[in-house]
Amino acid sequence: MAILAALVWASAVPAAAQAPEEKVIAGLSQTHVSITTDFSGSEIFIYGAIKRDAPVPKDWPLDVIVAVTGPLEPVIVRKKERKFGIWINDAGVTVDTAPSLYAVATTGPFRDIISFTDDFRYKVGIENLVHFIGETYDKEFKEGYPEALVRLRRASGIYFELIGAVKVIDETLFETRIRLPANLVEGDYRARIFLLRDKAVVDVFETSIEVRKVGLERWIYTMAQEQSALYGILSILVALTAGWLASAFFRLVFR
Amino acid sequence: MNIYLPIAEISVNAFLLLGLGGGVGFLSGVFGVGGGFLMTPLLIFIGIPPAVAVATEANQIVASSFSGVLAHWRRRTVDFKMGLVLLAGGLVGSAVGVQIFAYLRELGQVELLVSLSYVVFLGIVGAMMFIESIRALLQTKIGRPAPRRRHHWVHGLPFKMRFRASNLYISAIPPFLVGVLVGVLAAIMGVGGGFIMVPAMIYLLGMATTVVVGTSLFQIMFVTGATTLMHAMLNQTVDGILAVLLLLGGVVGAQIGVRIGPKLKAEQLRVLLALLVMVVGAKMGYDLVRTPDELFTMAWRGGGH
């Protein structure tokens, strides 16, 4: 019986990626993020366990990548050129897809734990998420634009990697914390947890995080978009009221 | 305390915004300028997208100028007739300006438009004010009153109207054109335009200086109101929360300014204002010429759709 089990296990190893022997089960401390007026970012605690029927494989240590990405959207990137002695934006290049947020935590340096093939297949690394689509890719002309987008977004803190921030306990339990910045945009965010062995993805767990403006933020945003005339008038009324109140108040206080 | 701005979609410090509003509002009360020429660059500097900064600043100026107008109205230092002529021009200019703004936003050139307008107008106005105020300052030192030119080409135009409060009998065309120019600037620079209107009223139209500030604020209030409405409808770039924070600080600052202004020495203040205007203009000019550290920029999410 033991021999049979060992045989089955041995034959299953090469096909690990197709029929995972190890499965990842994970949970998030929150799957809804509400943007309130005093929203200053949100920390998400991500934890999980590895479910397996066979003993822990010894040949390669277990690695985990936790990737939280915002909705993909096209972004216009412009480059400044000196014309007539001043720096002027060019017409701009539309990078077809770029996540509004890219927050990744790993057990180790990217290149040490995931192969190029799987990185590309599962679109884990930032360079595989920020790119042009199909025909629009014209290498010479658009060179440097996606890289600039990544650089700018890294600088503003909405793209970041936390290398070594995932803690694995006994090759079975793992946990990490990802702090989402305050400058979040609404949408459905993807949270993916990759389980890796020998630089190959063994299993993926995916869930979504809903990021929504609520309360006053929701009300103002919706009204500005949908009833823009009323919103404009209301803005003016608020301004006039504030101006009058200040005037009346100061007249009361100073005679 | 950080606060999330629903339209700009960034989180900024609330006290910073209140403080900025207060400081700029104070200048507004003292000089009769909206203060937008300082506030808009400051907002862009702290990371507010230019399109949102310009539109929201217009909304804030509505509050500070209304507060100022009330104070001047009680002192009877508003020439309503002159204000209405300026306003008629202002509304035309504002409508044109908002269209130009929306068009250039599509092209990604709003930043350039805003910067260039600042450099050109602040440079010219600042230099003119500086020379004039230095001259006035020297003349009061010697003890001679500044000569006031009673007649120039402005007085030869048709459509003459009598502006009693301003002590003027002139054509309606120059004030109307001044209004148009100020309206365009209000829309594309996020300013009230007082910094251009006040000198124009004094030097070009020859208005009695007592009513200049009140009348200027009166026109600014309506033009920035119209600008706010048009930006809200065309560009959806008025941020309600940003506006409230700025105007809370702004109206209080303006009230203090209106009370302190008359007690300060007018000529010296004008020199200071002229210097301030020139510094802001020079800074914007320098940024256009200087090789930037980062050549690339990203369009703001709300932009270019």
- A75: nearest CB among B233, B240, B299: B299
How many Å apart are CA B234 and CA B226, to the nearest integer?
12
pLDDT band at B75 (very low <50, low <70, confident <90, very high): confident
**CB-CB neighbors (< 8 A) of A144 in chain B:** 296
CB neighbour class for B246 (10 Å; exposed up to 12, middle 13-18, buried from 19): buried
pLDDT tens-place string over residues A29-57: 988 999 888 888 889 999 999 988 877 77
| Same domain membership, residue A129 and residue A23 | yes
Question: Any bridge partners for residue A82, and if so which?
Answer: A87
Instruction: Answer yes or no: are the C-beta atoms of A100 and A229 closer than 8 Å.
Output: no
Q: Could you tell me if B104 lies within 8 Å of chain A, comparing CB atoms? A: no
Provide the 3-class DSSP secondary structure of residue A138: coil
pLDDT above 70 covers a percentage of chain B that reads 90
Record: contact B4-A38, CB cut-off 8 A: yes
**DSSP H or E run through A122:** helix A116-122
* Optimal mutation site among B284, B290, B297, interface A, most CBs of chain A within 10 A: B297
DSSP letter string, chain B: -EEEETTTTEEEEHHHHHHHHHHHHHHHHHHS---HHHHHHHHHHTT--HHHHHHHHHHHHHHHHHHHHHHHHHTT---HHHHHHHHHHHHHHHHHHHHHHHHHHHHT-HHHHHHHHHHHHHHHHHHHHHHHHHHHHHHHHHTPPPP----SGGGGSSSEEEETTTTEEEESHHHHHHHHHHHHHHHHH----HHHHHHIIIIIS---HHHHHHHHHHHHHHHHHHHHHHHHHHT----HHHHHHHHHHHHHHHHHHHHHGGGS-HHHHHHHHHHHHHHHHHHHHHHHHSPPS--EEE--TTS--
Q: State the pLDDT at residue A203.
A: 92
What confidence tier does A141 reach under pLDDT thresholds 50, 70, 90? Answer: low
Does A19 score more than 60 pLDDT?
no
Are residues B91 and B225 in contact, defined by beta-carbon separation less than 8 angstroms? no
User: What is the model's pLDDT at position B303?
Assistant: 41
Residue A218 shares a structural domain with residue A173: no
Q: Is the pLDDT of residue A189 over 90?
A: yes
Based on the domain organization, do A193 and A142 belong to the same domain?
yes
Reported confidence tier of residue A206, pLDDT bands at 50, 70, 90:
very high
As a whole number of angstroms, the distance between CA A38 and CA A35 comes to: 8
The answer to whether B254 faces chain A, any CB pair under 8 Å, is yes
Q: Decide if pLDDT at B73 tops 70.
A: yes
- Flag whether pLDDT at B124 surpasses 80: yes
Nearest Cα residue in chain B from A225: B236
Please provide the average confidence, as pLDDT, over all residues in chain A: 84
Three-state secondary structure call for residue A160: strand
Cα separation, B122 vs B115, whole angstroms: 10
Query: Which of B:204-223 have CB within 8 Å of A?
Result: none
Instruction: Establish if A195 belongs to a structural domain.
Output: yes
Taking residues A192-213, report their average pLDDT.
Answer: 92
Q: Looking at the partner chain, which of A37, A152, A232 has a beta carbon nearest the beta carbon of B296?
A: A152
B156 in contact with A at a CB cutoff of 8 Å? no
- The whole-number pLDDT of residue A134 equals 62
Residues 1-30 of B with CB under 8 A from A: 1-4, 6-7, 9-11
Torsions phi, psi for B8 (to 5 deg): -70, -25
**Cα Rg of chain B, angstroms:** 19
Q: Are residues A92 and A143 in the same domain?
A: yes
Q: How far from A241 is each of A189, B186, B207, CA to CA, in Å?
A: 40, 21, 30
Size of the A and B interface in Cβ pairs below 8 Å: 189
SS (H, E, C) A28-96: ECCCEEEECCCCCCEEEEEEEEEEECCCCCCCCCEEEEEEEECCEEEEEEEEEEEECCEEEECCCEEEE
Tell me whether residues B9 and A185 touch, CB distance under 8 A.
Answer: yes
Q: Is B227 exposed, middle or buried (0-12, 13-18, 19+ CB in 10 A)?
A: buried
Q: Looking at mean pLDDT, say which of A207-221, B137-151, B290-304 comes out highest.
A: A207-221
B-chain residues within 8 Å CB-CB of A40?
A: 2, 4, 11
What confidence tier does A191 reach under pLDDT thresholds 50, 70, 90?
very high
pLDDT for res A137: 54
Mean per-residue pLDDT of chain B: 82
Contact status, residue A189 vs residue A70, Cβ threshold 8 Å: yes
| Paired tokens of A105 | 């935590």
Q: Can you give the pLDDT at residue A79?
A: 87
Strand order across the A173-180 sheet: A22-28, A42-52, A173-180, A167-169
pLDDT band for position A15 (cuts 50, 70, 90)? very low
How much of chain B, in percent, has pLDDT values that exceed 90? 10
ipTM above 0.85 for this complex? no
More confident call, B260 vs B158 = B260
Do A127 and A35 lie in one domain? The reply is yes
Give the separation between CA A68 and CA A129, rounded to whole angstroms: 12
Higher pLDDT, A246 or B141: A246
Tell me: do A88 and A159 sit in the same domain: yes
A87–B291 C-beta distance less than 8 A: yes
Q: Give the mean model confidence (pLDDT) for residues A55-82.
A: 87
Out of B11, B111, B289, the one facing A85 most closely (by C-beta) is B289
Taking CB atoms and an 8 Å cutoff, what residues of chain A touch B241? 37, 216-217, 220
Chain A residues in contact with B12 (beta carbon < 8 A): none
pLDDT category of residue B56 using cuts at 50, 70 and 90:
very high
Interface test with A, best of B1, B2, B9 (most A CBs within 10 A): B9
CB distance B4–A92 less than 8 Å? no
**Which residues 6+ apart lie within 8 Å of A198 measured at CB?**
A59, A60
On whether both A221 and A131 belong to a single domain, the answer is: no
Q: Picking from A8-12, A58-62, B227-231, B276-280, which range would have the lowest pLDDT averaged per residue?
A: A8-12
Residue A11 located in a structural domain = no
Contact assessment for residue B298 and residue A75, using Cβ atoms and an 8 Å cutoff: yes
Structural domains in chain A (count): 2
Least confident of A3-17, A57-71, B280-294: A3-17
Check residue A181 and report its DSSP letter: -
CA distances from B10 to A39, A181, B59, B249 (A): 10, 10, 19, 20
B289 touches chain A (CB under 8 A): yes
Range among A151-165, B34-48, B134-148, B189-203 with highest mean pLDDT value = A151-165
Residue A37: give the domain boundaries: 17-213
**Is any Cβ of chain A less than 8 angstroms from the Cβ of B268?**
no
Q: Is the pLDDT of residue B54 over 60?
A: yes
> Tell me: the pLDDT tens digits for A146-169?
888 899 899 888 899 999 999 999
Flag whether pLDDT at A10 surpasses 60: no
Query: Dihedral through CA B76, CA B78, CA B82, CA B85, nearest 10?
Result: -130
Whether residue A163 contacts residue A23, with contact meaning beta carbons closer than 8 Å, is answered with no
Q: Kindly state the percentage of chain A with pLDDT values over 70.
A: 88
Q: What is the pLDDT of residue B80?
A: 87
User: Is residue A173's pLDDT more than 90?
Assistant: yes
Number of Cβ atoms within 10 Å of the Cβ of A234: 17
Question: How high is the pLDDT of residue A229?
Answer: 92
* pLDDT bucket at A139, cuts 50 / 70 / 90: low
CA angle B207, B210, B214 (to 5 degrees): 90
CA A89 to chain B, closest CA, distance in angstroms equals: 7
Pairwise CA distance, residues B141 & B204, whole Å: 25
**Rounded mean pLDDT, B28-32:** 73
- Taking only the tens place, the pLDDT of each residue in B81-115 is 888 999 999 999 989 988 888 888 778 787 788 88
Q: Point out which residues pair with A169 in neighbouring strands.
A: A173
Q: Is the Cβ pair B299, A92 closer than 8 Å?
A: yes
**Residue A68 CB coordination number (10 Å):** 21
